[in-house]
A and B are shown apart, each in its own frame.
Chain A
Amino acid sequence: MSIFAQHLIDAISVGGLFAMMALGIGLIFGIMRLINFAHGELVMIGAYAMWLMVALPTPLVIVLSIAVVIVLALGMERVAFRPLRQASPSTLLVASFAVSYFLQNLVQMTLGSRPKPFTFADQLTQSLPIGGFHLPLLQVVSMGLTIAVLVGIVLFLKRTTYGVLMRAAAQDFRMARLCGVRANTVIALSFAASAVLAWVVSLIYAAQTGQISPTMGLRPALIGFVATVVGGLGSLPGAAAGGFVVGVLTVVLQIVLPPELRDFRDAFLFALVLLVLLLRPRGLLAVKAEVERV
């Protein structure tokens, strides 16, 4: 029983992590038709910001590192993506790939390519005795944080005016603009929201793996991209669902694969994803607005 519960908690926390990743990517895709490759670098730089400021008081580190990630996200939008807003989706994709590569190598050039130990969230490595088995505090915190952030973002999107603007823009950007939604505001907002999601991922992911490196953003980003495709490109609930499904799948694969195949977990994961896409090329929750009308 306790093993099952442990697996269940694993599945939920990994699923939640990737749901946040996919939602961060999906928010921007919905509005700009941009798959932001540099989303993984937001995660990476968030972790590096916390690592650099580790000597400061904790609340200050949290506030400042969130600020760093938001500024970076707004900066990349302003410098790289705004001039390309009229360009085709594949041009935008290449541009974000270049931004990602630029940031990765910039960090490598200035701080070195070696992984660094991540000690900011050290207290979280203790375990919490609950109902007969030991629950790592980190998992409790990350699950709580994930749920809080996901609920928060859903409330923001559903209940606030800005949230409605963003959903409207995600559904049909041109129509939303014709109704008076300001393009720059809503795009900046979505980048900021996606940056906050990336920051939460960076905290949890870095604390879980215990180390940070310039390429640490790659794996979560890749899983996030794939998850948005699985969920159905352009749909926000789809992105979150896709992220969750893919996250749960990684945990299931980790459990069911025989030990000698465990190294290939990601290969199996992506192969499974391709299979899902063979059955449903538009993703689990296909969006009508994405089908080109003539």
Chain B
Amino acid sequence: MRRLVATIWPLAVLMLVICVIVAAAAAMAPSTQRVVTDGLLKLIVVVGAYIFIGNSGVLSFGHIGFMAIGAYTSAWLTIPPMTKKVLLPGLPDFLMQLHWGTVPATIAGGVAAMVVALVAGLPLMRLSGIAASIGTFAMLAIIQATFSNWTSMTGGQGSLFGLPASTDMYVAGAWGLVTLAVAYAYQCSRFGFRLRSSREEEVASRASGVDVPRERLVAFVISAFFVGVAGSLHAHFLGVVTANQYFLALTFITLAMLVIGGINSLSGAVTGVLVVSVLAELLRRVEGGFTVASWEVSALPGLREVGLALAMLLILVWRPRGLTDGREIGWPGALYGKFASKRKSRP
């Protein structure tokens, strides 16, 4: 019993943190709730990406592409047929007629991302670490080029509107909890353990019979589902889909969250989202210009990005393995030493 509690302890703490934040924000102004919702959506993306990146140790720059897939799938499925006729006259007939609800459309967005991840992952997962990262970047570029030029299906550089704005804080929070639970379950499963063994020592893990490309592919596909879901939720949050939204800026901020928090643990992913969201929100307020005792500071567009990049560099130099140093939240007391994951010493 103690063992079971100790095992699910980190997950329980993280879920509780999410619940507390949502409950606290419920009493606050709608503008604050929107900030929290945005943070929760990023949480789904980061935890979704963590399923692959954290467990495999292979950085992926391509996950935001899955977000785009989720968002466009949702747009195709949920924009009313009358609006679709005007926005996307080139859409095939069967898509033109569809008018799904947002929940099935969200799941469909995730599934579409999974399919793409499966196809793209077959060659990508065979590459070694760094080459695989570059490969995922190429995948992001492919997805971006496709969506921003495929005018008949996506409206090209323009934006698609008319999506029901159904994502609020509670929807995002609920999906966030599901993502956390699945990410944790995966990491405790034998698939997760096999993949983590390849992260720590690829050669030894292969020698012990782990099929590294296959394990990576499994994680890649699962993680694509949640990032796709996040994309769809994001589309229903803004009500608008634009191809340029799902490119470098979002890739950078989500990756920064993961790295700042600590890439190797779920607690790290969540910590990173919290810390960076707060920092980004503060910088956003400074960026807009403010007045301190009759001393006026003018607006500095771009300050947020510059500040985040600096913060990320500082964290990397100061704590290369992130704020949590790759550990999960420990079970307090005697069991701590037994269940805390061991630090890997680097030569």
Q: Which residues of A contact B (CB under 8 A)?
A: 33, 35, 80, 83-84, 86-91, 93-95, 97-99, 101-102, 104-106, 108-109, 218, 222, 225-226, 228-229, 233, 263-264, 266-267, 270-271, 273-275, 277-278, 281-283, 290, 292, 294
Taking a contact as CB atoms under 8 Å apart, the answer to whether A35 and B312 are in contact is no
Q: A91-B316, A91-B320, A264-B145 are in contact. Are A277 and B305 (CB under 8 A)?
A: no
By beta carbon, the residue of chain A nearest B151 is A263
Is the CB–CB distance between A273 and B138 below 8 Å?
A: yes
Task: Give Cα A222–Cα B123 distance, bound, in whole angstroms.
Answer: 18
Alpha-carbon separation in the docked complex, A106 to B61 (Å): 22
Asked whether, in the complex, the Cβ of A90 is within 8 Å of the Cβ of B130, the reply is yes
Assess whether B302 is interfacial by the CB under 8 Å rule. Answer: yes
CA distance A91 to B134 in the complex (A): 14
Provide a sorted-by-A list of 14 A–B residue pairs whose CB atoms are within 8 angstroms: A87-B316, A97-B61, A101-B252, A101-B308, A105-B305, A226-B134, A226-B137, A229-B127, A229-B135, A264-B149, A266-B145, A274-B135, A278-B126, A292-B202
Contacts of B306 in A (CB 8 A): 102, 105-106, 109
Is the CB–CB distance between B346 and A108 below 8 Å? no
Chain B residues with CB under 8 Å of A101's CB are: 248, 252, 305, 308-309
Residue of B nearest to A263 (CB): B149
- In Å, the complex CA distance between A77 and B131 comes to 22
Can you list, as one digit per residue, whether each of B148-160 has a CB less than 8 Å from chain A (1) or not (0)?
Answer: 0110000000000
- The residue in chain A whose Cβ has the minimal distance to the Cβ of B138 is A270
User: CB-CB < 8 A to B171: which residues of A?
Assistant: none
Contact in complex: B320, A278 (CB < 8 Å): no
Contact with A along B122-147 (1 / 0, CB 8 A): 11101111110111011101100110
A94 contacts B130, C-beta separation under 8 Å = no
**Once bound together, how far apart are the Cα atoms of A88 and B313, in whole Å?**
15
Chain B interface residue count, CB cutoff 8 Å, equals 49
B239 in contact (CB, < 8 A): no
Main secondary structure of the interface of A (DSSP, over half): helix
Chain B residue numbers with a CB within 8 Å of A274 are 120, 123-124, 135, 138-139
A282 to B312, CA, bound (A): 31
User: Contact between B316 and A89 (Cβ–Cβ < 8 Å)?
Assistant: no
Are the CB atoms of A109 and B301 closer together than 8 Å? Answer: yes
Most interface-central of A90, A99, A278, A294 (chain B CB within 10 A) = A90
Closest-by-CB residue of B relative to A218 is: B248
Which of B259, B316, B346 is A86 in contact with, Cβ under 8 Å?
A: B346
* Shortest Cβ gap from A275 to chain B (Å): 7
Report chain A residues within 8 Å CB of B57: 90
Residue B317 is within 8 A (CB to CB) of chain A in the complex = yes
Partner of A267, one of B126, B142, B248, B259: B142
B203 at the interface (CB under 8 A from A): yes
| Given A93-B130, A109-B301, A277 and B316 contact (CB-CB distance below 8 Å) | no
Knowing A229-B127, A264-B145, A274-B124, the reply to whether A94 touches B259 (Cβ < 8 A) is yes
**A104–B306 CA distance with the chains assembled, in angstroms:** 9
Complex CA–CA separation, A284 to B146 (angstroms) = 27
User: Contact between A99 and B138 (Cβ–Cβ < 8 Å)?
Assistant: no
A residues less than 8 Å from B150 (CB atoms): 264
**Interface membership of B69, Cβ < 8 A:** no
Chain A: minimal CB distance from B248 (Å): 7
Residues of the A chain whose Cβ atoms lie less than 8 Å from the Cβ of B256: 98
Give the chain A neighbours of B124 by CB distance below 8 A: 274, 277
Residues of B within 8 A of A108 (CB): 301-302, 305
B185 at the interface (CB under 8 A from A): no
Q: Which of the listed residues A89, A226, A277 has the most CB atoms from chain B within 10 Å of its own CB?
A: A277
Does B98 interact with chain A (Cβ within 8 Å)? no
- Nearest A residue to B317 by beta-carbon distance? A83
**B270 CB–A CB distance under 8 Å:** no
Task: Please measure, in the bound complex, the distance between the C-alpha atom of A91 and the C-alpha atom of B138, giving whole angstroms.
Answer: 19
Q: How far is the CA of A261 from the CA of B301 in the complex (A)?
A: 36
B138 touches A226 (CB 8 A): yes
List 8 additional A-B contacts (Cβ < 8 Å) besides A90-B59, A94-B259. Answer: A90-B263, A101-B305, A106-B306, A108-B301, A109-B306, A226-B134, A226-B137, A278-B123
The answer on a CB contact under 8 Å between A281 and B141 is: no
Q: Are A277 and B142 in contact (CB under 8 A)?
A: no
Q: Find the B residue at minimum CB distance from A86.
A: B346
In the complex, are the beta carbons of A109 and B303 less than 8 A apart? yes
Q: Which chain B residues border A97 with CB–CB below 8 Å?
A: 61, 252, 255
Mask, B110-127, CB within 8 Å of A = 1, is 000000000010111011
B8 proximal to A (CB < 8 A): no
Q: Does B282 sit within 8 A of A, measured CB to CB?
A: no
A275 touches B312 (CB 8 A): no
Closest to B149 in A: A263
> Please, how many angstroms separate the alpha-carbon atoms of A229 and B128 in the complex?
10
Q: Is the beta-carbon distance between B135 and A222 smaller than 8 angstroms?
A: no
Q: Are A102 and B138 in contact (CB under 8 A)?
A: no
B112 smallest CB distance to A (angstroms):
17
Least Cβ–Cβ distance between A179 and chain B, in angstroms: 20
A222 with B138: CB separation less than 8 A? yes
Q: Is the CB of A281 within 8 A of B128?
A: yes
Q: How far is the CA of A292 from the CA of B207 in the complex (A)?
A: 13
Residues of A within 8 A of B279 (CB): none
Q: Is A89 a contact of B123 with CB atoms below 8 Å?
A: no
The residue that B146 contacts in the complex, of A84, A218, A267, A277, with Cβ under 8 A, is A267
Chain A nearest Cβ from B212, distance in angstroms: 12
Q: With A94-B259, A264-B149 known to touch, is A105 a contact of B302 (CB < 8 Å)? A: yes
B316–A225 touching, CB < 8 Å: no
